[in-house]
Amino acid sequence: MHRFANPARFLRLARPLTAWFGWSGALLVVVALAGGLLVTPPDYLQGETVRIIYIHIPAAWLGMAGWGGIAAASFAQLVWRHPLAAVAARAIAPAGATYAAICLLTGSIWGRPTWGTWWEWDGRLTSMLVLFFLYLAYIALANAGARQSGGDRLSAIFGLVGAVNLPVIHFSVLWWRTLHQGESIGLTGSSIDRSLLWPVPLAVLGFSLLFGSVVLMRMRALLAEAKVEARLKRLAAA
């Protein structure tokens, strides 16, 4: 991991990966959505509304995975003082917040015809909303910390503490009686029919690659910004 601690070495790898992830992800998303909207049959109970899973499931996964990435980067920052860890965490946060918001929005749209309401203070929905607010708080804290000495350490601690919410989201449908359906896709199989399921892995992979592309793009932008600020400080001191 420390092989890429040098920003110049990281950037040599990140530049081509940004484009590769972006174009590959966009292609997979197009194929997945085309298959999900035009090829797969309607669900026997939910009808056409079931097609929202091809956006909702990847968004839910990446909303949670994004905070997992922040927690991992925060751990690397606090334990190994990895020089790019804080940059990675700051880059992940807006992308993770966006996917969490998409998850909440698509879940609300899906819930209206399925549950008869746009919102329910359900365990899964509420804990996902908490995650979205955690993202907003982390972004504000990280932006403030970038301008203060020791601020990055505080945001790293917050990134680790906020990870406590991830198992709550995952197990909420088991811990509480809830409107939200149980786990549809697990290690042992899926409750979703195969005729509806096949675009889901393509959508998850495609959106994940887009997520990675955005994170790399933001890391490059943050490093460029830090380089410019350092140069301006040297000029001001000269």
- pLDDT tens digit sequence for 137-173: 999 999 887 767 666 899 999 999 999 999 999 888 7
- pLDDT tens digit sequence for 11-70: 899 999 999 999 999 999 999 999 999 999 998 778 888 899 999 999 999 999 999 999
- pLDDT tens digit sequence for 57-87: 999 999 999 999 999 999 999 998 888 999 9
* Distance in angstroms (rounded) separating the CA atoms of residues 93 and 63: 10
Q: State pTM to two decimals.
A: 0.91
First to last CA, the chain: 36
What confidence score (pLDDT) does residue 186 get? 57
Domain parsing of the chain, residue ranges: 2-179+199-237
- pLDDT tens digit sequence for 174-230: 776 666 666 666 555 666 778 888 999 999 999 999 999 999 999 999 999 888 877
